[in-house]
Each structure stands twice: as C-alpha cells, then as structure tokens.
Structure 1
C-alpha cells in the first residue's frame, strides 16, 4: 500500500492538445500546484527536473511519442558575449532597468497587449484581459520580480529616472541556483533593438551579480524555428535522460 505524506505534491496529467511548436503533433503536460511556504523549495527541486512555473502551477511536457522539448539553462559565470551580442548591448545603451515587486500596472498591460496583438494574435494568450494579466504577474508563491526596461531620461535622477518610456518587461523568478525567465514582452515596433535577446543578456549579468550559476530559459524545441534563438547563448546545459549535460551541438 502506498502512503502519501499530507504535504507531498500531487501530480496531474493534461489531456492531449495541439502542439504550439510542431505542427501536426499533440502535447500533454504533467503539473502540480505550488502553494504554501514549501512552494519555493518545491520549485527549486522541480526545476532541476525540467519543470517550469506558470502562476501557481509547475509543469513540464509529458508527450507520449515526442521528446523534442528540452530544458535549457545558461552557465552564467562562463558566458562571454560575442560580437553580435555586444552590438545588441551597445544598441540598447539608452535603456535603464528597474526591478519591481510582482505587481502589475496598466502601463505594463498596454505594452503586453501591443506585443500579443503583433506577435501572438492567434496564440493562447490572445484573449488575456487586464485581470488575466494581473493574475499572471501576482499569482506566485515564490520570489518573483518584474524587471522594467525604460528609455533613459537625460539628466534624470531618483524617481524621475523611472518615468521614461516603458519598452520591455520581464517576469522572472529568483531560485536558489539561478534566475528563471517566466515570460517577457517588448515594444513590437522596435525590432532593430533585438529586445528579447537584450533581456536575456541582462538577466545573465543579473544572475552573475547575484552569485547564481544559472539562467533558466525554459524549453528549446528542436525543429521549431521560433525556439532557435536559445541555442545562441553558450555555454549552456540541456536536461537529458541522465541529467544536465553541457550542450555540444
């Protein structure tokens, strides 16, 4: 007879649904709830096994005939930006970042809405209301931060420096061994800035300054063009059947 500890997490399996990354395939996920004071430690443990967080849910793919989704984490202390990355950093020197508590604002939602309408109008997040957005930001039982990226106001100091135009936002978790980028969005009309890449570069530096060895980027899906950007950040580790291994592709 199996005995479950009253505080042990229970895991559930979703029904099959169309895969958002590989056409013609179906996806399933295994998930559990992150609640109470044990949530941070549980997320740390589950992240080692390839789980991701969405609000108070930790999940990972559990597809029957496909293993294309591979968890990726960057080794922050070994990362060195190459020429293309340095160009992106230089291109965004006029931006300044501010770390906030996980609290939504109407300004954030306006930018989020512009991003979704331009990039993911047919995706699962296309119908998110301002209340849905607030839940995405606030509904966390772990240490979560909102990083705002704004245009620098020339000569501004203190609170005035935080009034520049909001151009990008990242929702990130702080774990015991790294930062985990939960979701990010940015001004869709600023393609020349490569803001998605810029935020990853900024988070690598943030994790390094915090003494954290990893930046968790979620899943790389081999064969999905929209996920190819994650492979550019080297060195990195992939979660394989025998554990985390350095990627040598």
Structure 2
C-alpha cells in the first residue's frame, strides 16, 4: 500500500461521533480497483474500514485517538471473564448464512430501539440497515446465534482471503445477560481459526470512548499506530 497510488476523497470536518469534543474528517476510497475482497483486505491492513459500499479511514488533523485493532486468532487467549461467557453460552448454537433475511432486520430494529435510542442510528429504518451493513461488491456473511429454535443474535462478518472483519453485532435485548456481543467476537475468533484465516479485524479502538474501548480486552491484539502494527500482550487476568 505504501508504494501504490490510491484515489481518495476527504470529507468536511464534523463533530466526532466517538469524542464529541473533537472534530473528525474521513478519507473515503474513490478507487474502484480496490472494491474486491483482496483489495479491501489490503486496505484493512492500512487502517481502512467498510461501511456499506463505502471504505474509509479517519484523517483528523487534531486527534489520533482511533486505532485499527486486529487479533491474530492463533495467539488469542480468552480471559477468565471471557471463558465464563463461553461456558454460560455453551448451549447456544450458531450457523453461517450468506443471504440477508427479513428476520435480521426485525431483530436489528428492536435492538436499535432498545439499546441505541440515544445514538446516530436511531430511529432505525431498513434503508439505513442496508446502507450500513450490506455491500454490492462484497457479500457479507451472517453469523446466526440460536437458543433452541429462536434467533437471538446476528454478527455481520466479512470473510476475506486471509482474515475476517467483524462488521456489527445486534441481538435480542431480552438476552442482554448472555453477553452476546462478547460471545459473537469469541465465536468469530473460533471461526477465523476454523477457516484457516490469520486475523480478525475489530474496527477502531478508541480508548476514551466507553462504547468503543471494549475491544482492548481481547489479548494479545495489535493496533495500527503511525503505519505500524504494534502488539499489546496479555496482562494479569
């Protein structure tokens, strides 16, 4: 990526959705040659991220709080808390689908109404759901979680030649005590190994944003800082 020209645009500065006291700008991909699984994976390695059809990366002049985070699945070691979640959810089954289903949006809508009514994704709509999660040039996978026959969560995941990228997880609010967001990431790490991939990308880590700093609990992991992936190793459990 360092030696390959890349056509991009840049957005106007606007209030940051993670740190409201800051302003954010985004570099947005304009190069159609990279809208492939292989091209997108190379952009993930350079700190980009997909939202719907768009691929972007923070480009903020006054702030550098957002760091891409990825986990090398073969090195990951679950903490005591994460092991408890795996054990608590041992009766939850999961399967992969590559087809969007009406039941997904119904679950997404309920999740946003009850869990994120104070956020930028409220009120939800199907067009917003499609623009955020679906993609014309890369078909996402849907990791479905069931308790018995009941669908209780969906983790939207991009499966790439050498990695997986966790897009978004939404779940039945009645099952909040199951820690399904954490369980989804732990399952995606298992899937990364099972599919012979190396990394699971989790998007951006923002240490000072409560909604975004949970990713730091998955150790060891790597963060992209100054164009270099730095490893953060296991601390005391």
Q: TM-score, with normalisation over the residues of structure 1?
A: 0.86
Cα deviation for residue 219 of structure 1 reads 0.5
Q: Does 1:18 align with 2:15?
A: yes
Give the distance between the partners of 1:47 and 1:34, measured in 2 at CA: 15
Take 2:129 and 2:69, find their aligned partners in 1: how far apart are those partners? Answer: 26
Assess if the C-alpha contact under 8 Å between 1:26 and 1:63 holds in 2: yes
Q: Which moved more, 1:214-223 or 1:121-130?
A: 121-130
Structure 2 equivalent of residue 223 of structure 1: 208
Aligned to 1:70: 67
Task: Give the drift of 1:187.
Answer: 1.5
Q: Is this contact kept in 2: 1:33–1:56, CA < 8 A?
A: no
Q: How does 1:47-196 map to 2 (within 5 A)?
A: 47-101=44-98, 103-152=99-148, 164-196=149-181
For structure 1, the residue ranges without an aligned partner over 5 or more in a row are 153-163
TM-score (norm 2): 0.90
- Partner secondary structure for residue 17 of structure 2: coil
| Bigger mean CA offset, 231-240 vs 33-42 | 33-42
Paired residues, what number?
231
Shift of 1:33: 4.5
Answer yes or no: is the 8 Å Cα contact 1:203–1:215 preserved in 2. yes
Contact 1:34 1:58 in 2 (8 A): no
* Ranges of 4+ aligned residues in structure 1 off by more than 3 Å: 33-38, 134-138
**How much has 1:74 moved relative to structure 2?**
0.7
The CA deviation string for residues 209-243 of structure 1, in whole angstroms up to 9 with x for no partner, is 11111110000002112222111100100101141
Distance change >3 Å, CA 234–CA 59, structure 1 → 2: same
How much has 1:150 moved relative to structure 2?
1.0
Question: Compared with structure 1, are the counterparts of its residues 135 and 27 closer, same or farther at alpha carbon in structure 2 (3 Å cutoff)?
Answer: closer
